[in-house]
A and B are shown apart, each in its own frame.
Chain A
């Protein structure tokens, strides 16, 4: 039997999930496919800042207004994933004072409330901030957990009758004349091929959008803009803090759960699957962190990672220098600082652009505006399906009714209220029952998925204790014997993923912890000598995504 759907969405990041949810709510038969796990790409490597738009008011007023509108909608519809921390734009003595006026004018234009408060009051709220603070403004920024958001979106898709298929890679797009009529999929776990017919295909593959478009013979140039972030092992601030200056490297600090994320850098890379974290980038983030929070370096840097922003310009001339902003020194060299490229998004109708029917690509944009991008993409998809139905996502809560607001102590409450069950991960309070439920639900054999599902292994011990326990639980789901290589591989891959994030910030307490972990896995358990299903060279390193 040939499987088919009305709308096929490619990509399990925020945009794809948003588009699939939007289509499903409008009553279209919808299937989302993702080659990895949900948020496997850029959404899962996001810094967690739900923008108020303040960051873009000077350079990109249109994006700024979009951000603010979407910020309000998401706070209303997705409270389970959002901590309404509020945000500050803080001007340090070294920040250009002439940027303040255009910033305030931009906020007024975009309707973003920005209230100046006395530095002394801000320091009372955020005592670790640099006391030399010159001026500070309060804006409605917030912190968003992209893993929680993805799960809520996926649940909402299913509740609306749509389907979410992870670990299905698009190998080719089916064509009938000038029309795209579906996709050829591969089950990544089993290698099985599957043909899925679709009336409209919506390509939301983020930094990989160009590769999917190429399968339909369309050229879409998406520039991967790498951003490096560091998670500090303390919640250094309770409010999002932005530097009040033209957007640049290392100017945001976001409280996410128990950590604070310092971000970011921005460098154009050639390949979204292959990029390195450079020592200079880590050093830059620490140095900027030190300006915002004196003695920042003395706190433990827990891990570093990078994500690739999908930056889109239809004309390559976009990388030529533009006039500098107030307070900005000179012009950045063309082709290196992708911050010059717009954060705006575009919905590409390949029928108009390339003469290919039934195919839409969503490019550019950012996490905060995923819902808007999805709405516009599905508007176009509906038009193509000949059924222009009203978008419901701005009003329909993503969270199921009664879902509480995201709180830091939710996990502890859940653990205490739950039945007696062993704690698998002490750092993030994950129990055996939770691990089993997550494995049963996803059917996944990948321990890294538990990290995204449950935050397993993301705390200060960096999987030292929970990795073995999780491998044991994973294995008890499969029959004795044949599958053990896969369990071993899952464990080694999980450990390698942690290693990848630790290696760039391996000093002090991190190195001490890692020596304990290495002693457990290499000496006590001898994990590196076990037979695996994959060659070690295939595991992710810092140089791969």
Chain B
């Protein structure tokens, strides 16, 4: 097969891990392509950076650094490359966001305790400034906005749970002023409205009376889709109160802001993002192509010499297309994003290379609300993020795996999702 395009770095997957890896690579001067079948986890998540929110008994963690440092020998993906790498990854991501006019605040040794839209407390390490005033331990009564006609936020339920937990909250009803709300409108529909300074001025004018006596107001995260916090800053100034956003059901407005920041950073550094084609196989160093089905048999066998992958084959509208790369970063995520697939009960495959996947006998707990064993399934890597087989041997010298594809973490249960994404992406790029 002959290559149609050549890159230094091809990242497969456009979630937080993939986009961050792509941005880092592009900024180092590598000719970089991020290619993905679809958008990734940024659009589904809360738009914060969780490093470690809960301990093994799912109690809140105040100091994530202390928690992840407890067991130094552990194989947790966020710590594979060591604490300094995690620290640098977070700092680099913060720099990128700040440069875009959307600072993420916080520190590795202290979590925010932010309220969820159900009124539970959710620890997170880094958050946009527009979230910070939601910190529940901050004194002063909270007011939460009931927005009649908007179906994805229930201030009364949130206030009741917060109040029951000892964080007094009340509800104020705020009119969206005949905003063109459809029956099926999402957070993104409202966010587009708030991007308009004229709309912000109008609501601020009308809300002022209803907000008499309110010092701290929580709104669902709908204050603008642009990759800066301008809409939030502007509305806060106009209302002259502490104003904070609360992440709600997907699509995630704050998550989309992060995606936009990474995309712009990547493109400004000369990188490319192609959304649409799925990766269906790869090309060996001898220019023979392989699909993951052939591979599942070959890579499962013990490897004594790591091989080289020459590139990936994308399924495009015009047919298969061969992208050659010196380095391939797999950031395809877990089941939700298609990096892993369970074709039938109890079977699991890694969907690009057919890499070996760490599993266990038990997949699902009897209760929905418990830790789910399957969440820890995934690809095992070494400290350079190279996938390894059961014997710990590297399978492809120039293939790296990052983010949700990796084994060993229950990202929902631990509150560790974005910390893993950033730390592993950073480690992979540092090792190129």
Contact = CB atoms under 8 A, between A and B. Distances in A.
A511 interface: yes
A511 B336 CA distance: 8
Chain A contact residues: helix, strand, loop or mixed: helix
B412 A503 contact: no
Question: Which 3 pairs of residues, A with B, have the shortest CB-CB distance?
Answer: A472-B154, A526-B120, A422-B151
A475 B144 CA distance: 15
A17 to B, nearest CB: 31
Interface stretch (B157-165, B225-233, B271-279): B157-165
Nearest to A528: B369
B336 A515 contact: yes
Contact of B157 (A487, A506, A515, A520): A487
A432 to B, nearest CB: 7
Contacts of A516: 44, 250, 336
Interface string B2-36: 00000000000000000000000000000000000
A267 interface: no
A11 to B, nearest CB: 29
A530 interface: yes
A484 B372 contact: no
Contacts of B50: 523
A523 B367 contact: no
A518 B151 CA distance: 20
A541 B366 contact: yes
A282 B346 CA distance: 13
A512 B38 CA distance: 14
A506 B411 CA distance: 19
Given A475-B157, A529-B120, A499 B367 contact: yes
Interface of A: 279, 282, 297, 415, 420-424, 426, 431-432, 465, 468-469, 471-473, 475-476, 480-481, 483-485, 487-488, 492, 495-496, 498-499, 503, 505-508, 511-512, 515-516, 518-531, 536, 539, 541-543
B412 A519 contact: yes
Given A480-B171, A503-B366, A506-B342, 16 more contacts: A468-B117, A476-B154, A481-B160, A484-B164, A485-B164, A487-B160, A496-B369, A507-B347, A508-B342, A518-B412, A519-B45, A524-B46, A524-B117, A524-B247, A525-B118, A529-B120
B413 A522 contact: yes
A520 to B, nearest CB: 6
B369 A492 contact: yes
Interface of B: 44-46, 50, 58, 116-122, 149-154, 156-157, 159-161, 163-165, 171, 183-184, 247-250, 334-336, 338, 341-347, 363-364, 366-370, 372, 374, 411-413, 415, 417
A177 B122 CA distance: 62
A279 B161 CA distance: 39
B366 A542 contact: yes
A297 B342 CA distance: 13
Given A522-B369, A542-B366, A528 B415 contact: no
Q: Which of A475, A521, A542 has the most CB of B within 10 A?
A: A475
Given A481-B164, A508-B343, A523-B417, A529 B58 contact: yes
Contact of A512 (B119, B161, B338, B412): B338
Contacts of B335: 511-512, 515
